[in-house]
Amino acid sequence: MQAEPHGTMHGWIWRVNLLPFVETIAELIRCRVDDGALTASIERSDADDDSWFTFVLDGQPRVEMRFARTRTDDTVLVDVELNGIDEPLEIRIALLLDVCNRYRLRPETG
């Protein structure tokens, strides 16, 4: 993961982790996620064709993300704009990006 000034993070996550990644950020900023819109958007995206989609979480604070799926290895490229976010929240999101990159998350069964 590459972090830049101005609160932008770049990286990739396993495709199966997209929903947990977005839901966790939404929970941190007290916002709801439209799962259907997220799923439909990722299916239409394509990193090889530079066809990205933007997904905005309008919480406190607002977080803007860009995603594009890859064709070959079941991953999703991620750009996250974090302008105006305090450092502890930025660190949590960076850690989440790292975890979603290294591990394939599974929902709790119950």
Domain extent listing, the chain: 2-102
- pLDDT band at 6; cut points 50, 70, 90: low
Q: What is the pLDDT of residues 28-72, one digit of tens each?
A: 999 999 999 998 999 999 999 999 999 999 988 888 999 999 988
The answer to whether 43 touches 59, Cβ cutoff 8 Å, is no
Residue range 2-102, CATH number: 3.30.310
What is the pTM for the complete model shown? 0.86
Q: Which residue has the tokens 């990286």?
A: 11
User: Please, which pLDDT band fits residue 86 given cuts at 50, 70 and 90?
Assistant: confident
The predicted structure's pLDDT at residue 106: 80
pLDDT at 29: 92
